[in-house]
Amino acid sequence: MTSSLRAALGLAVVMCAAAGAPLSAQRVNAGEIQHRNNCRVAGQVLTLGQPANRGEWALQYIGSCAEEGGDVILGLWNSPPSSDPELQALYYASIHVADERVFDVALSVGQDPGAPAPLRLAALGTLVTYVRPDMVLSLEGRSRLEGVPPLRWSNVWGTIDHPEFAEGEVSLPPDAYVRTLELVQEFAGDGDAPALLRDSAYWLLGLYDFDR
C-alpha cells in the first residue's frame, strides 16, 4: 500500500468518526425533543381535555415528565376522578413524579373527612409510595374479607423489587415520612374513620412494619 493510499484511508476513518458523533447526538436530541413534545401534549390533554381521545395515554405518560408533571398532576388532584380504575391511574401518575406539591395536596385530601374513602386511600397510597418506594397500592383488588373477625377490607398493598420513580421539580419535604406515618397512625387509631382507611392502615402497620 502506498503512503498516499494509507493517508487517504486514514483521512476517511477520521471523517467517518467525526461524522458519527454528531449523528449520535442528533438522535439523542431528537429523542429529547419528542419527549418534551409528548409531555406538552399530555399536559394539554389533562388540563384542557383536548384531544379527548388521548386521555388514557396522557395520564400514563405525564408521570415521566419531571418538569411538567407536578403542576399537571396537582391540577388532577384538585378535580379528582371517582372510579377505582381512574383513581388507580391518578395514583400511578402521581407516584412517578415525587413532587412536594403533589405530596401536600395528597396529604390534604387524605386528611379531609369529607372526601370519599377511595379517594383518600389513593392519596394515602401516594404518600406511602413516596416515602417507601417499594410499596404500591392496588385499589382494584379491594374486597371485604368474610368470616375474618373483625370484618376487614382485603390487603390493598404490595411490594416491588426495583422501583423507578423520578424526582419532581420540587423535592419532597424532609419530614415526608413522619407526616405520612402520622396519617397512617391516625387512621389506625380512629374508630370513626372509614373502615377502608382504618383497615389499610392496619395492614401497613401490622404486616409491613411501616412504623419501623
In a domain, 43, yes or no: yes
Q: Are strands 157-159 and 135-137 parallel, antiparallel or unpaired?
A: antiparallel
Q: Which amino acid is at 109?
A: V
C-alpha cell at 101: 406539591
pLDDT digits (tens, 9 = 90+) for 72-83: 999 999 999 888
Supply the DSSP string of 94-135, one letter for each residue: HHTEE-HHHHHHHHHHHH-TTS-HHHHHHHHHHHHHHH-TTE
In a domain, 211, yes or no: no
In a domain, 212, yes or no: no
> Number of folded domains in the chain?
1
Per mean pLDDT, which of 108-122, 137-151, 153-167 is the most reliable? 108-122
In a domain, 156, yes or no: yes
Question: Prior bond to 51 cis, omega within 30?
Answer: yes
In a domain, 197, yes or no: yes
Find cell 419501623 and name the residue. 212
Q: Kindly indicate the confidence band of residue 67, based on its pLDDT and cuts at 50, 70 and 90.
A: confident
How far is it, in rounded angstroms, from Cα 176 to Cα 197?
A: 19
Q: Are strands 157-159 and 166-167 parallel, antiparallel or unpaired?
A: unpaired
- Compare 6 and 160 and report the one with higher pLDDT: 160
Range of the domain at 96: 3-206
pLDDT digits (tens, 9 = 90+) for 17-51: 444 445 545 555 777 889 889 999 999 999 998 88
Find cell 383536548 and name the residue. 50
In a domain, 150, yes or no: yes
